[in-house]
Amino acid sequence: ELQNAVARSLAFSMPMAVAVSSSWSMYISNALTYDVTYYSWEPSLHLIASEPQEITFPLHNAEQWAAGDKSSMAKKVILQNFAGRGTAQNAPAISYLFTRFDFPLSQLMHALQDVAGGSSYDQAACAWLKRTDIWKPWVQAMQCPDGEGMIDTVGTDRPGWKFVLNHTIGKGCGQCEPGRYSAAYSDPVQCVPGQACFESRVCQACPAGTAQIRYNQMACDVCQPGSYQPSPQQLRCLSCAVGTYSNSSGSSLCRHCGEDTAKFLEATMRLRSNDSDNASFLEETEQAKKNRATMKRVVVDGEERWAFQDGAFSSTSCGCTIGAW
């Protein structure tokens, strides 16, 4: 460092006399007593009473340094935060803190000045913690991991806790229960230019046409053809009853066999709205549904027969019941 100081003194025509203190205590005494330039280290309490002012030189120039010209500042050391693989997945709140942690030297020196003024280290630390505007953006206690969602309590130990869909009333995270799935959540109102928005997860109810029987799931199971689910937040899909079928995924209801015939009869009735026999058309409409059923071929004692079938996934399974044609 002495060589670098001499190089800058020559480069910027700065008269300089170099002296070496005989001891560390003498070095501190000389720096505090005389109007001299000296090396100071931060963060440190040793010379904080003198309120040292930094003498700055041009920023580091790698080409000049390679040529032996050290009139510019030394290369700065880039401070980085490192975390183990999987931290973001297994400890999202810690990962969030690491990526946003920013502790300027000026804040640390301010705390040390409080210590130099007579405060204890604990008191200085508490004073800093009270400045929530500094560290609050680093912390996201409700950044719930995949498979979980925000709840209205700090933990799930207290009876009666509930899932919430807004972070303003959320206090913690809980695993999504069967019948729910973990969905991404963000609040654009909280976005500040240059900073990330508030992001977390919520446990949403599985919509009709889906179901979920497991905990900590990211999606609901879609009801397959031949099944349905008319209600939200259910554990299982239901099989279409005999006489009904579902030919698409995610169905919330099953179609009746003979439904097309019934619709034809209803249309005919509307065309003949003045006909006094409308009642008979209504009876025919209902009977058209009753006369149809879902069936499949089965072999009994080596003989092929027809049997009623539930869970049908095509109208081709529909046929006439016994006595109907």
Q: Are 237 and 227 in contact (CB under 8 A)?
A: yes
Statement to judge: residues 273 and 183 lie in one domain: no
Quote the pLDDT of residue 218. 96
Is the pLDDT at 202 greater than 90? The verdict is: yes
Pairing between β-strand 255-256 and β-strand 292-300 as defined by DSSP bridges: unpaired
Q: Do 133 and 180 belong to one domain?
A: yes
Q: How many domains does the chain have?
A: 3
How far apart CA 47 and CA 42 sit, in angstroms, is 9
- Establish if 215 belongs to a structural domain: no
Residue 198 in domain: yes
* pLDDT tens, residue by residue, 79-134: 676 777 777 666 666 776 777 777 777 788 888 888 878 889 899 889 888 887 77
Q: Average pLDDT, whole number, for the chain?
A: 80
Q: Is the overall model pTM greater than 0.75, yes or no?
A: no
Closest CA to 223 of 211, 235, 206: 211
Residue 141 lies in a domain: yes
Among residues 35, 66, 97, the one where a domain terminates is: 66
Instruction: Please report the pLDDT score of residue 298 as a whole number.
Output: 80
Higher pLDDT, 204 or 94: 204
| Shared domain check, 192 and 145 | yes
pLDDT exceeds 90 at position 221: yes
Contacts of 39 (CB under 8 A, 6+ apart): 1
pLDDT of residue 304: 77
Q: Domain end: 161, 176, 203, which one?
A: 203
* Range(s) of the domain holding residue 167: 88-203
57 and 127 inside one domain: no
pLDDT of residue 41 exceeding 90: no
pLDDT band at 325 (very low <50, low <70, confident <90, very high): very low
* Cα dihedral 165→166→170→175 (10° resolution): 30
Q: 121-129 vs 105-116: helix axis angle to the nearest 10?
A: 140
209 found inside a domain? no
- Judged by average pLDDT, the poorest of 15-19, 218-222, 241-245 is 15-19
Residue 51 has pLDDT above 70, yes or no: yes
